[in-house]
Amino acid sequence: MDYKNYKRIKVGPYQSVGILEGLYVFEILTGIADVPEYYRITKEEFDSYDQWNTEYITDLKTLFTIVNRKCVCNGYNRVNPVPRNYHYDVAPCPICGHETVSEVGKVQLGTLYEVACLQCGNNFTKLKD
Ligand SMILES: [Zn+2]
Residue of 28, 52, 49, 46 lying closest to 90 (CA atoms): 46
Q: Is the pLDDT assigned to residue 50 strictly greater than 80?
A: yes
Domain ranges of the chain: 3-74, 88-127
What is residue 13's predicted lDDT score, i.e. its pLDDT? 77
Segment 43-63 mean pLDDT = 82
Of 5-14, 54-63, 85-94, 116-125, give the lowest mean pLDDT range: 54-63
pLDDT digits (tens, 9 = 90+) for 75-123: 886 555 567 899 999 999 999 999 999 999 999 999 999 999 999 999 9
- Report pLDDT for 49: 93
Distance CA 31, CA 97 (A): 35
Phi-psi region of 79 (alpha: psi -120 to 50; beta: other; left: phi over 0): alpha
Residue 95 CA to ligand 1 centre (angstroms)? 5
Nearest to 102 by CA among 86, 91, 111: 91
Higher per-residue pLDDT: 38 or 57:
38
How many A from CA of 44 to the centre of ligand 1? 14
The total number of residues written for the chain in this structure: 129
Please enumerate in sequence order all residues whose Cβ is within 8 A of that of 54, keeping only pairs 6 or more positions apart, or say none.
12, 13
Please tell me the predicted confidence (pLDDT) of residue 51. 86
CB 27 within 8 A of CB 8: yes
Spacing, Cα 126 to ligand 1 middle (Å): 13
Q: How far is the CA of 4 from the centre of ligand 1 (A)?
A: 32
Q: Does residue 93 contact residue 116 with C-beta atoms inside 8 Å?
A: no
> Of 112 and 53, which is predicted with more confidence?
112
pLDDT of residue 63: 87
What is the rounded distance in angstroms from the CA atom of residue 118 to the CA atom of residue 93? 9
